[in-house]
Structure 1
């Protein structure tokens, strides 16, 4: 599971920092999460193939989280894209994007599907044979969701020494990996656990964008492998959280502790601060395994 941070700063883009956008690679799927200004430039800088992005998840309709979307959609057309593109986001996102496409006469060369969200309860919004994605309702100034990405349990791993020892033919390998026992020609049944190893434990990633500190999300993300949680402010400026409906680094760490997360990634830093290191220092007073997001930083989790 790889995570590439394209942008992780709050409010406005600057010469050296970008607003929120990131790419999650999971089970050979690639998901774009939020799409602030400059996202397509960051995709190019990080050598991420546009053609691999088929699903885009938008947390909410504040500009620093989706103003890059129309540009990216248009660029896909200019590049001759043919693959379907699915956009998941709050109700209203379809109207905004289609109005811009209509007024600019820039209809797409590919099928563009919108999956608009308005539920205040967690719901599954994407599922295939490898990955399932659910919403994480958040508390912000406008309707906002985080997203929980979960791998499905994969096939069992072949014990090659064992299958060779028992003379299992290759045409039965997929059946064995799916968990079936094998019956030999003499009628002897070989239990599957003698022929395979347990599959790799499925991994999970929770993206919690702009939100007021909210313990109700804990039950939705419990035992998550990696939690990205916004940390707009340091503890000294906590008084701004209620008005802006954002969180501090320390509060993000408290959510990580309560959810029993394995890793915490901080991001969405206010640009009022000269350094992001104090965010990590404050969070580590509560939760040990803290990482700092930064533009173009890549995380790999096994």
Structure 2
């Protein structure tokens, strides 16, 4: 599971910082999560093979989370893309994007599908044979969702030595990997546990930005391997949180602790701060496995 941070700062872009956008690679699927201004430049700068992106997840309709989307969509058209592109986001996102395409006469060369969301309850928005994605309803100034990405358990791993020892025909290998027992010609039943190893544990990732502190998300993100949670402010500026509907680094750490997550990745920092190191220091007073997102940083889990 690879997470590439393209941008992770709040509000407006600066010469050295970019608004929210990231790429999650999981089970050989590549998902774009939020698409702040400058996303396509960041994709090129950090050599992300963005032609592999077929699904884009937008959390909410504040500019620092989606103003890069029209450029991203248009660039694909200029490159002659043919593969379908799916956009998941709040109701209204289709109207915004289609209006820009229509007025600029810049229709795509590929099918563009919008999946508009308006439910206040968690729901499955994407599923295939490898990954399932569900929404995480968040509390912000406008309708907002985070996203929970969960790998599906893979096939069991063949114990080649055991399989060959029983002289099992290769035609049965898929049945074995799918968990089936094997009956030999002499009538003996060989249990699957003797012929396979457990698959690698299924990984999970939760993206939560932007939101005020809310324990309502705990059941959805419980035991997630990696949690990206906004930390716009430090505790010294906590009085801004209720007004702006954001969190502090300490509050993000409390959520991580209560949800029993594996790793907490902080992001969405206010640009009022000269350094992001204090965010980690503050979170570590509550939760002991904290990473700092930063533009261009790549995490491998």
Q: Give the TM-score normalised by the residue count of structure 2.
A: 0.99
Counterpart for residue 258 of structure 1: 258
Counterpart for residue 242 of structure 2: 242
CA positional deviation for 1:64: 0.2
- Cα distance in 1, alignment partners of residues 166 and 237 from structure 2: 66
Counterpart for residue 110 of structure 1: 110
CA positional deviation for 1:173: 1.0
Superposition map of 1:174-189 within 5 A: 174-189=174-189
1:254-293, Cα deviation, whole Å (9 max, x unpaired): 0000000010000000000000000000000000000000
Superposition map of 1:15-26 within 5 A: 15-26=15-26
Counterpart for residue 29 of structure 1: 29
Indicate the SS of the match to 1:59.
Answer: coil
- Cα distance in 2, alignment partners of residues 168 and 241 from structure 1: 63
- Cα distance in 2, alignment partners of residues 140 and 198 from structure 1: 41
1:209-245, Cα deviation, whole Å (9 max, x unpaired): 1100000100111000000000000010000000000
- Cα distance in 2, alignment partners of residues 235 and 170 from structure 1: 61
Indicate the SS of the match to 1:266.
Answer: strand
Counterpart for residue 280 of structure 1: 280
- Cα distance in 2, alignment partners of residues 148 and 197 from structure 1: 28
- Cα distance in 2, alignment partners of residues 121 and 287 from structure 1: 28
Counterpart for residue 216 of structure 2: 216
CA positional deviation for 1:50: 2.2
CA positional deviation for 1:188: 1.1
- Cα distance in 2, alignment partners of residues 91 and 168 from structure 1: 54
Which ranges of 4 or more aligned residues in structure 1 deviate by more than 6 Å?
none
Indicate the SS of the match to 1:213.
Answer: coil
Q: Is the 8 A contact 1:222 1:260 kept in 2?
A: yes
Q: Is the 8 A contact 1:208 1:228 kept in 2?
A: yes
Counterpart for residue 146 of structure 1: 146
Indicate the SS of the match to 1:119.
Answer: coil
Counterpart for residue 48 of structure 1: 48
Indicate the SS of the match to 2:43.
Answer: helix
Q: Does 1:66 align with 2:41?
A: no
CA positional deviation for 1:156: 0.3
- Cα distance in 2, alignment partners of residues 168 and 2 from structure 1: 37
Count of aligned residue pairs for this structure pair? 301
CA positional deviation for 1:91: 0.1
Gaps of 5+ in 2: none
CA positional deviation for 1:185: 1.2
Indicate the SS of the match to 2:153.
Answer: coil
- Cα distance in 1, alignment partners of residues 297 and 72 from structure 2: 21
Counterpart for residue 120 of structure 2: 120
Indicate the SS of the match to 2:261.
Answer: coil
Counterpart for residue 89 of structure 1: 89
Q: Is the 8 A contact 1:50 1:76 kept in 2?
A: no
Indicate the SS of the match to 2:41.
Answer: helix
Indicate the SS of the match to 1:137.
Answer: strand
- Cα distance in 1, alignment partners of residues 130 and 102 from structure 2: 36
Counterpart for residue 228 of structure 1: 228
- Cα distance in 2, alignment partners of residues 85 and 192 from structure 1: 40
Q: What is the root-mean-square deviation of aligned Cα atoms in Å? A: 0.5
CA positional deviation for 1:15: 0.5
Tell which deviates more after alignment, 175-184 or 92-101.
175-184
Counterpart for residue 197 of structure 1: 197
